[in-house]
Amino acid sequence: MHKVFTAKYPSNIALVKYWGKYGNQLPRNASLSMTLCKAYTEVSLICIKKKNPEVKIEYFFEGSTGPAFYERILRYIIGQNEFEKLVRNYTLKISSKNSFPHSAGIASSASAFAAIAAVLLKASNTIRAGQFNEQASRLARLGSGSACRSFYGPFSLWGKLEGVKDSSDEYAIPVENVHKVFKSMMDAILIVDDSPKKVSSSKGHSLMKEHPYAAARFRDANKNCKEMLSVLRSGDFENFAFITEREALSLHAMMMTSREHYLLIRSGTVKVIEEILRFRKETGLPLCYTLDAGPNVHLLYPASIREQVHTFIQQDLFNDLKTVIYDSAGSGGTVLKVNNGKA
Ligand code: PMV
């Protein structure tokens, strides 16, 4: 007997950043992200019944077996109680592919672990009634922290925040009552540099343990999450931009002031940011930027001004970019059982 499942989950871009963790992938502060749409990972899982209890897991990324991510996936799957019976009773063949190019400044571990956690949870038959997203978000977090936010859209909150009902360090929750201005947000991902990251995010998180500014950073991020929640309800774009841009620079300021300090932004990053600020000042249009842990710039704007933004990118930015990926706010992912037949 074999069973086949598929899942398709998007990446997300944090507006308020998660940077610093404790315990088993728990965040030192709350974070809030916009879920993407076109940048996703598709995973298919074939479960083939076996008699021998020996672990048999195969993993293919875009058709080939890459040892680096395989080790991480294997450790992850074996480490979760929820998947124990599945691993014991079935050979698991997992194939994963991304809709976006590697090193494009899109968090591929977020979409990958969201899809992998969802597909394995669905196959494991350990879902508590009405709690699929909560369970899958928790399991995805154990693979990659930011992955837990890819289950809801257009915005998702992760981390315990005083006064915010149901908020938790264990899993993300959807942001409710979002103003219509923010429901149609677009994200033009401006690729300044597509070379592989020099310092991993896990290294960055660990450097927050002895960071001299850590306590202030965690307080500030929690405050920014609360303010962002109220901005998303009221539709106040000016404050949305203010918080988002300050958060992006705070994240990079943490990297630059860690004990082992480092710089991920490039001269092209600064040039593109300055052009965005100039364009906003001249036109008064509602747009702003954010950065992930890398040199590429995410330009955020409502769909109503997409024509002006496309022209701006083509005319004023294109020479400084490798490429642009046009994405928009999405609503999360899907997981399906596609077949249940004889092998
Ligand atoms: O999920 P991780 O462990 O790869 O960390 C992600 C950290 C940032 O992308 C920089 C910020 C965030 O909140 O997504």
pTM of the model: 0.96
Q: Which two tokens stand for residue 117?
A: 């956690």
Which of ligand 1's atoms lies nearest the C-alpha of 147?
1
Give the model's pLDDT for residue 107. Answer: 72
Q: Ligand 1 center to residue 51 CA distance, Å?
A: 40
Q: Is 186 in the pocket of ligand 1 (CB under 6 A)?
A: no
- Classify residue 64 by its DSSP letter: B
What are the strands, taking DSSP E only, across the chain?
A: 2-16, 21-22, 26-27, 31-49, 57-61, 90-98, 155-158, 172-174, 185-191, 288-291, 297-302, 323-328, 334-341
**Tens-of-pLDDT digits for all 343 residues of the chain?**
789 999 999 999 999 999 999 999 999 999 999 999 999 999 999 999 999 989 999 999 888 887 778 889 999 999 999 999 999 999 999 999 999 877 666 778 999 999 999 999 999 988 888 899 999 999 999 999 999 999 999 999 999 999 999 999 999 999 999 999 999 999 999 999 988 888 999 999 999 999 999 999 999 999 999 999 999 999 999 999 999 999 999 999 999 999 999 999 999 999 999 999 999 999 999 999 999 999 999 999 999 999 999 999 999 998 999 999 999 999 999 999 887 655 4
Cβ 328 under 6 angstroms from ligand 1: no
Task: Please work out whether the CB of residue 158 comes within 6 Å of at least one atom of ligand 1.
Answer: no
With the most atoms of ligand 1 within 8 angstroms of its CB, the residue from 76, 201, 208, 262 to mutate is 201
Q: Is any atom of ligand 1 closer than 6 Å to the C-beta of 293?
A: yes
